[in-house]
Chain A
Amino acid sequence: MAYIGTSPSNGVRRRFVYVATSNQTSFSGNDENGVSLVYVDVAYLDVYQNGVKLKSVDDYASTTGTSVVLVQGASTDDIIEIIAYDVFSVADTVSAKDGGNFAGNVGMGGTLAVTGVPTFTGRSVHSGGITIANAGQIGSVGDADAMAISSGGVVTFSQIPSGTPTSTVFKLVNTGNQDLSNGVETVLQFNSAPIDTASITSTGSNNVTITAATAGTYLIQGNSRISQRPGRQQLLFLIGTTITLIAEQSENDAGSGANPTIGFSSIIALSDGDVLTMKHWQASGGTITTIAGYSQPSLMGVRLF
């Protein structure tokens, strides 16, 4: 598609006006308005002498692009008016009719409506979210539907989800022994975290710190085992910022075994910033130790939702 004019910013028409001197034939350079004569295509050039349109070749020559030369010299004060309609083509465009490619970024101030199937080579970013048609499917390029979202927002999976579990699961254990003084609430040490999907355990601080990303309702279980019967009784505590669980076991409850195990389990809500520790208390009358191996001191949690 062609347009008339050197560029949209310069307009489609240029006008040059010269006042001739006696017998002047060549007109170039700045005109009466200080605008220097220039044109590109002689086919789009009109030359007037005192308002009378001259005929190209017969009356004037225009070959240089910067001058017009009259065949006959003008008279003093003749007005030579030159109108240049330069032609240029707008090549770097995309046809509305035929389509094409934009090599650079494209902005869209309004709604973008697409009838066909849009294909994005790179990842697409939708800052305002993504909305699909009610009960519309989301699937792979292989046309395997993966999930649908109803008008009420209910998600229905068409395939069985696989991959790395997104649930938060942790387990702290102590594979060594720890002294428990008589009558002292002792924070249990943990020297290993064999399971920690969200990196929320600390063997250095012997605790679990719930983050914003891992807050939720948990199934929590803890247990400990000691090297002898606990005397009058033993207690096992789960200490949190807002909760405390206590398991209590009397000597009779400890059974006849020499190394009784005590434990607790519960479903609790944990919030961002909650710190969980375990404490063990015993009343054997002296210092006893925890025991590694089965039922070793451990604190485990699984986020349910």
Chain B
Amino acid sequence: MAKEYSKLVELYCADKGVSSVEFCRTDNANVILSDDGDGVVYISEWNLSIAKPSNDDLAKFDD
């Protein structure tokens, strides 16, 4: 993906009507993104009312 994974999540959420996404655990994150050290980013926690996106869903926002 050309864009940051976090940016794709923000774009997906905005498209679904959610304007604010917080990724910082100490700031009451509603989405936690993780990388197990292998460079592969994935959604490990999803606490938004909209559906958790798949990688294909996110890829639609990657130019």
Contacts and interface: CB of A to CB of B under 8 A. Distances in A.
Interface string B32-44: 1111110101001
Interface of A: 178-179, 181-189, 206, 232-233, 235, 246, 248, 279, 281, 283, 285-287
Contacts of A182: 4, 6-7
Contact of B4 (A181, A186, A189, A281): A181
Interface centre among B23, B33, B35, B41 (most CB of A within 10 A): B35
- In the complex, the 8 A-B pairs of residues with the closest C-beta atoms, listed nearest first: A183-B6, A187-B37, A183-B23, A186-B35, A184-B33, A182-B4, A185-B34, A182-B6
Interface of B: 4-7, 23-26, 32-37, 39, 41, 44
A183 B4 contact: yes
A181 B36 contact: no
Given A181-B41, A185-B35, A186-B35, 17 more contacts: A178-B37, A179-B39, A181-B4, A181-B33, A182-B4, A182-B6, A183-B5, A183-B24, A184-B34, A185-B25, A187-B34, A187-B37, A206-B37, A235-B25, A246-B25, A281-B24, A285-B4
Contacts of B26: 235, 246, 248
A296 to B, nearest CB: 16
Nearest to B23: A183
Contact of B24 (A179, A283, A286): A283
B23 A187 contact: no
Contacts of A181: 4-6, 33, 35, 41
A188 B34 CA distance: 11
